[in-house]
Amino acid sequence: MPPTPPRSSGMPDDTALVIIDVQVDFCPGGALAVNDGDAVVPVVNRLADRFSTVVLTQDWHPPGHSSFASAHAGAAPFSMAEMPYGPQVLWPDHCVQGTPGAAFHPDLEVTRAQMIVRKGFRPGIDSYSAFFENDRATATGLAGYLSDRGLRHIVLCGLATDFCVAYSAMDGRKVGLAVTLVEDACRAIDLDGSLDAAMSDMRGAGVTLATAETLAG
């Protein structure tokens, strides 16, 4: 394997890029496609060149996951269900372990990543956030990894702004990190106003909003 090239214009060493769920099923043609989702790939790739620490997250559901509408008789995709941990959107089957749809987008540059956080692999609970599953208590281990590495600031990008990216941003603040969201390196589902709600929540939590261009400045 060729050596990783040096960063072109580095971010501080205490800052990590966290790339959320840039997977085939979330891109056009996928099972849960985010509108224009593949447009984030070149922006994310350029960002990754500037960070010494890069983390990827990957939705990784077993077949028949409880968050799938198909697991609930008569339920329609995008309807709501009450789970032991609270209300849950029921999604189309997506990012099933080992399937082509669960793979990272083929044009995503993954060689810089030192860690992949797989989430949603427990059959009975969904996991939007890179830090906690949807019970808001079961940890993924990312917070400990970042702490052990001396990382105090995360820059977030990926899919989708109003679900997995927003939950990760809010939980990043919850565990005491500075958090920046790169808006043009994300795309949203926008389910019944979920994008506006997520942006308001993130601003209220102290998440910094940036673009790839302003971040470079």
| Residues with Cβ within 8 Å of residue 176, at least 6 apart in sequence | none
> Of 27, 95, 157, 164, which is the active-site residue?
164
Active-site annotation holds for 27? no
Inter-CA distances, 79 with 26, 60, 68, 121, Å = 18, 21, 10, 21
Report how far residue 75's alpha carbon sits from residue 72's, in angstroms, rounded to the nearest whole number: 5
Active-site annotation holds for 95? no
Active-site annotation holds for 186? no
> Of 59, 95, 119, 171, which is the active-site residue?
119
Query: What's the 3-state SS for 36-88?
Result: CHHHHHHHHHHHHCCCCEEEEEEECECCCCCCEHHHCCCCCCCCEEEECCEEE
Report how far residue 38's alpha carbon sits from residue 36's, in angstroms, rounded to the nearest whole number: 6
> Of 21, 38, 59, 126, which is the active-site residue?
21
Catalytic (active-site) positions: 21, 119, 164
